Amino acid sequence: MRVICHGGAGGVPDEPEPRQAVLDEAAGTGAAESDAVDAVVAAVEVLEESPRFNAGCGGAVQSDGVVRTDAGIMTDGREAGAVASMPGVANAAAVARVVMEETPHVLVSGVHAVDLADDFGVAVERDLLTDDARADYEDADPPAPDAGPREHLAWLDERFAGHDTVGAVAHDPDDDSFAACTSTGGRTFALAGRVGDVPQIGSGFFCAPAGGASATGAGEDIARATLTRRAVRHLEEGLDAQAAADRAVAEFGELTGSSAGVIVLDEGGAGSAYNSEGMQTSVATGPE
């Protein structure tokens, strides 16, 4: 099993070494699994449980003071599942897997996704707001609890920021299968209920027989450019994983003028590229 993980494309982190250690743990955890879907979910769960990353327990707070999580997962057989806008659910990747494997749907959102998580044994009603995020929100003079969307939009106009995400792609050489998974807490001070690229097929995640990709960055622009579908299409055209990642990010930058990163995995190996200040990744290979 080969797994590549990313911890989000954005600025250079204040403490890169501890973050890298968690990424290495995540990649190694995934690589120890014997199935590609198990691998990406296990890897992403390690990152969702770390407050150092914008997913799960470290998710970004929205304009109403609530952390809502999104995730998506896909296999090379085009099976897919996604969830969006879930308060109190850290392990969004596991719920996306439930959607893929247990429902006839591709995307479930909001409180109904939380109910689905609860019914299938994924922990709910967790406090995802870290002390730092809570302090930042309180210091930003947020809207009153009964304020309407227009007031929220006026407040976030100069505050909406950030675009870290986590993700993983796995390749199982035993059956030449791939899986890709991405999970996020969104963007800081986004409008309550905002959903970005992460749960959208071809934007935050994509997988096909040629390989898989997971994206991170400015979600609205990633969705407009369908970044992961673009990267996998380059694999289908014959580029290797690194060349596909490089070309997809270059095209993204030309199209949007925005920042993002992508990890890509094919049968031959892993690739990653970004045009932000930084993006940490980790690659691991399990025992044969």
Q: Among residues 29, 69, 75, 165, which one is catalytic?
A: 165
Note the Cα 114 to chain centre separation in Å: 18
The strand order across the sheet containing 260-266 reads 205-208, 211-217, 260-266, 269-274
Distance CA 212, CA 2 (A): 12
Does the active-site annotation cover 165?
Answer: yes
CB-based burial label for 127 (10 Å; 0-12, 13-18, 19+): exposed
- Can you tell me the distance from the alpha carbon of 35 to that of 25, in angstroms, rounded to the nearest whole number? 18
Q: Helix 16-31 crosses helix 36-48 at what angle (to 10 degrees)?
A: 150
CA–CA separation, 141 and 3 (whole Å): 42
Helices (H), 141-262: 149-156, 219-225, 227-236, 241-256
Amino acid present at 161: A
Q: In angstroms, rounded to a whole number, what is the distance separating the alpha carbons of residues 186 and 85?
A: 9
d(CA 204, CA 195): 11
Burial class (CB in 10 A: 0-12, 13-18, 19+), 66: middle
CA angle 264, 91, 212 (to 5 degrees): 15
List, by residue number, the catalytic residues: 165
